[in-house]
Amino acid sequence: MPQIFPPNSNTLVTWSIFGGGVFVLLLLVALPFYARMNNNRVGVPVEQPVDFPHNLHVTQVGLDCRYCHSTVETSNTASVPSTETCMTCHSQLRVNTPQLQAVLASWETDTPIAWNRVHNLPEFVYFDHSVHVNNGVGCSSCHGQIDEMAQIWKNEPMTMGWCLDCHRNPETQLRPRSEVLNMSYTYPSDPGAQLALGTELVEAYHIDTDRLIDCSTCHR
Amino acid sequence: MSDASKNLDFAQIRARLADKEGPAYWRSLDELADTTEFREFLHKEFPRQAAPLDNGIDRRDFLKLLGASMALAGLAACARPPLANEKIVPYVRKDEEITPGKPLFYATAVTYGGYAEGVLAEAIRAGPPSSKATPTIRPAAAPPAPSPRLRYLPSTTPTARTP
């Protein structure tokens, strides 16, 4: 068998040993940075085809969440309102503003508005809005202060670990049903009081805490 | 097995085996003799078996491929986050009975064997009886229309569940 490597490859070997060491070191340094990169896009406002300010509609106009997200209590999806819902008011109000032209165009040409998704759970996750809203999980618990956002961003990472934080200890997050839509709800300042309230609510709403962390609860 | 078997040269085979060490396996004396006639015959009769004999994948290539497959298997984990510009497209004019995410049930009837059979139709993510989308209802024997999906629940009295 002839010699494959020329004599100067000895140097190459030496250097590649050092190079490999440096590469591993760089990797070790880079990994924590990569892990901290916001790949999940938490807190990054999402541009929309219509410049819809949630803060104005919730705080100034005082619209109930369910006026637009009408199926949040009955269906798995909260649902994005139809153009018709916008037109309830905006057939009369602020018709001439540039922000509204896309809505009017949608209405006149009968073409839907394609909104950009902010929260996108993987297909293998089953999530039902109604069951959360009807059992004392507040809108703001997951979506944050929507009433202060001009553009909506994802407020929580929506990772499995984040889901489980609450599914393991629901009593730390629950609030009375009457407060679910309350955007400025504050939990009892004393953690003991929240625990007592939460435990009471778990019992009152018949929440089966054992089944909350079953795989099949979310992965059906 | 073949004509090649007839002219086996045992002296040659013995000579070949003499300088072999360790385990060596063969499936027939023809293979051991490895004559040109046998090779030709093998190519004609069993092209698939002939290939590994000609230029079998050696240990190094095998390990190379094994290593590469394992290294590349990690690529399956590389994906863009599921945000990838998905759109939500709501209705322009929503039908009143539709609840997005819920199937719509309505009572109707199909003729089956000449009789009207009361059925409960379930429309999933599709237009219910509306001005725009009217589902075609076929007899239970025929395959249901692909959209909207219909589930036939025969009942004597048609019952409608409101969604």
Q: What is the pLDDT of residues A171-219, one digit of tens each?
A: 999 999 999 999 999 999 888 999 999 999 999 999 999 999 999 999 9
Q: Residue A146 has what pLDDT?
A: 95
Q: Is B86 on the interface with A (CB under 8 A)?
A: yes
- Answer whether residue A36 is part of any domain: no
Round to whole Å and give the CA distance between B104 and B127: 9
**Chain A partners within 8 Å of B86 (Cβ):** 116-117, 120
Is a pLDDT exceeding 50 seen at residue A83?
yes
Q: Residue B141 has what pLDDT?
A: 42
Q: Residue B143 has what pLDDT?
A: 42
- Chain A contact residues (CB < 8 Å to B): 39-41, 71, 74-77, 79-85, 106-107, 110-117, 120-122
Q: Any idea where the domains of chain B sit in the sequence? A: 3-75, 98-163
- Answer whether residue A160 is part of any domain: yes
- Please tell me which residue, A115 or B60, carries the higher pLDDT value: A115
Q: Residue B50 has what pLDDT?
A: 65
Which of the four pLDDT bands, split at 50, 70 and 90, describes residue A23?
Answer: very high
If you average pLDDT over residues A64-91, what whole number do you get?
Answer: 93
Round to whole Å and give the CA distance between A85 and B98: 14
Q: Residue B84 has what pLDDT?
A: 59
Is a pLDDT exceeding 70 seen at residue B40?
yes
If we measure between CA atoms, which residue out of A36, A56, A39, A47 comes closest to residue A153? A47
If we measure between CA atoms, which residue out of A183, A162, A219, A177 comes closest to residue A40? A162
**Residue B94: which of A82, A116, A117 has the nearest Cβ?**
A82
CA distance A22 to chain B (A): 21
Least confident of A24-33, B102-111, B133-142: B133-142
Round to whole Å and give the CA distance between A79 and A136: 19
- Please tell me which residue, A26 or A7, carries the higher pLDDT value: A26
Q: Residue B3 has what pLDDT?
A: 54
Which of the four pLDDT bands, split at 50, 70 and 90, describes residue A24?
Answer: very high
**Chain B partners within 8 Å of A74 (Cβ):** 99, 102
Whether the pTM exceeds 0.80: the reply is: no
CA distance B162 to chain A (A): 12
**Cα–Cα distance list, A219 to A5, A127, A160, B101 (Å):** 55, 9, 11, 17
Beta carbons of B87 and A117 less than 8 Å apart: yes
Q: Residue A170 has what pLDDT?
A: 94
Beta carbons of B100 and A75 less than 8 Å apart: yes
Q: How many CB atoms lie within 10 A of CB B86?
A: 12
If we measure between CA atoms, which residue out of B137, B141, B142, B144 comes closest to residue B106? B137
Q: Residue B73 has what pLDDT?
A: 87
**Residue A41: which of B83, B86, B91 has the nearest Cβ?**
B83
**Chain A partners within 8 Å of B88 (Cβ):** 80, 114-117
Q: Residue A97 has what pLDDT?
A: 93
User: With a CB-CB cutoff of 8 Å, which residues 87-126 of chain B face chain A?
Assistant: 87-94, 99-102
Is a pLDDT exceeding 60 seen at residue B146?
no
Is a pLDDT exceeding 80 seen at residue A121?
yes
Q: Give the domain range for residue A127.
A: 73-79+123-218
If you average pLDDT over residues B34-62, what whole number do you get?
Answer: 74
Q: Residue B79 has what pLDDT?
A: 64
- Answer whether residue A167 is part of any domain: yes
Alpha helices in chain A (DSSP H): 9-36, 54-55, 65-68, 83-90, 101-109, 129-133, 139-143, 160-168, 191-204, 209-212, 215-218
Number of domains, chain A = 1
Q: Residue A129 has what pLDDT?
A: 95
Is a pLDDT exceeding 50 seen at residue B154?
no
**Residue B88: which of A83, A84, A115 has the nearest Cβ?**
A115
Q: Is B72 on the interface with A (CB under 8 A)?
A: no
Looking at every residue in chain A, the average pLDDT score rounds to: 91
If you average pLDDT over residues A128-155, what whole number do you get?
Answer: 94
**Cα–Cα distance list, B156 to A67, B109, B118, B153, B159 (Å):** 40, 10, 6, 10, 9
- Please tell me which residue, A112 or B28, carries the higher pLDDT value: A112
